[in-house]
Amino acid sequence: MRIRAQVAMVMNLDKCIGCHTCSVTCKQTWTNREGTEYVWFNNVETKPGIGYPKHYEDQDRWHGGWKLDRKGRLVLRSGGRGKRLSRIFANPDLPSIDDYYEPATFDKDILVSAPGGLKDTPVKRPHSALTGEPMAVTWGANWEDSLGGQSGQDDPNLARMATKVKLEFEKTFMFHLPRICEHCLNPACVSACPSGAMYKREEDGIVLVDQDRCRGWRMCVSACPYKKVYVNHATGKAEKCTFCFPRIEAGQPTICSETCVGRLRYLGIVLYDEDAVLAAASVEDEKDLLEAQRAAFVDPYDPAVGEAGLPAEWIAAAQASPVWKLISEYRIALPLHPEYRTMPMVWYVPPLSPVLDATGAAGRDDTDADDIFHTIRDLRIPVEYLAELFTAGDVPVVTGVLMKLAAMRSYMRARTLDGTVAQELLDSIGMTAGQVEAMYRLLAIAKYDERYVVPAAHAKDAAALEAQAATHGDCPVGGSDEDFRRADGRRGLHLNPLRSRS
């Protein structure tokens, strides 16, 4: 057993209001430079919808992630080394600018410099940020936000569902899905990179791009099933979400977490057995991937953890980690598309709100657990849709999570109003009163230091990192990281045991 630490995130989708503050602050911090106009390390999608870039979840088209070959071995969907090298100069599995959007800028000066007395009010027209030519804005990273799920008929998740779904306007539903790089335990982008520029940091699992080694082959873009690797068209280098590693190293949460208006993000450490990753990603049935990944995680209270050589501060942070609690203790957080076999480490608490809306629409009481339970059992949408997103189509798992959330709401309501303990609710979900109350506190009223448990061991590096920045200037996005490797001697190329076979 080789125990590793992974910085991970959980997002509670019931608390996302779609304000896009996380997207804007991430954009201003990391991608406000030439060549990154279309790049959104963090974006908030409206589901159902086709996402950003368009149809990124359609792996029959993009060939992202992993699959099992005829012998049950794990291989990249984009092909082995030989196949990738044969088309290294002409990769067909790349989204075009139309799949993203052509970034626009506006001539704002016309509003203040137009002469007086004009018959018509001056208008700032959009111009392409790439060519400078006038253009019409027809798509964007958050375009579906105003469509209320009405583009859902083209959603790849609906196409995969066993029951054909007809989205009628009066019956439509929607929720917001914030997305960043998943910083996977088994990252396809790392294995697909011909130059070895993509790497997974050994100390905290963050996946980065060495800008000095990147040659712009773009195989990482094709291999990432979440399409969270971008190419800076000015430099020709790959860039991606860095999990704000300079902030993490200074003991601070990511910028998207820090500025989240809904307080829906949780940040912490998860310990896992590196030797168990290959077996967990290679289970035959896609519906078993969730439990296989959970089984690869290590209980931070396990005596074996103390013998793994991890710093005491890391072990303490893992034991206090809200991410570990939501994923493995309360078991209400789920990974995004586990069927991609990358073992993602950004997980989600599925939204209960569409179920509550359906409960009220059916004339039932959305504060009564029994009525909510009946609605969850009867409702094929969005429960089946949520299963396509988070459990490879395993509906009972999502149903169980929603029932836990509904039971928590009803239990806390009764306890607050008249002090009663609804033991039958606790029995129905297999949790104790203490567990439900602790889960409620974490989901609803957790304080800053409960939501973000960043290892204190990183804080000691802050001074050294600031000195490096003063000496070498700002590190580029996803930067070379070479200076940082020299600074503390702990960083290096993470040798991924899951390199694809040619």
| pLDDT per residue as tens digits for the range 67-97 | 999 999 999 998 888 888 888 888 878 999 9
Residue 387, pLDDT score: 92
Phi/psi at 314 (5° precision):
-70, -40
Spell out the domains of the chain, with CATH numbers in brackets: 17-101+139-249 (3.30.70.20), 262-451 (1.10.3650.10)
**Sequence-ordered strand ranges (E) for 224-264:** 229-231, 238-240
Instruction: Supply the pLDDT for residue 328.
Output: 96
Q: What is the dihedral of CA 183, 186, 187, 191, to 10 degrees?
A: 150
pLDDT, tens digit (0-9, with 9 covering 90-100), for 33-80: 999 999 999 999 998 889 999 999 999 999 999 999 999 999 999 888
Q: Is the pLDDT of residue 432 over 50?
A: yes
Number of neighbouring beta carbons within 10 Å of residue 493: 17
Query: DSSP letters of 292-358?
Result: HHHHHB--TTSHHHHTTT--HHHHHHHHT-HHHIIIIIS---EES-GGG-S--SEEEE---HHHHHH
Quick check: 471 pLDDT over 70?
no
**Measured distance CA(145)–CA(283) in Å, rounded:** 36
The H-assigned helical ranges of 52-151 are 59-62, 81-86, 109-113
| Burial label, 98 (beta-carbon count in 10 A; 0-12, 13-18, 19+) | exposed
Q: Residue written as tokens 């989204």?
A: 95
What pLDDT is attached to residue 414? 87
Closest Cα partner for 100 from 37, 19, 8? Answer: 37
Answer for the pair 184, 342: CB distance below 8 angstroms, yes or no.
yes
Residue 78 near residue 217 (C-beta atoms within 8 A): no
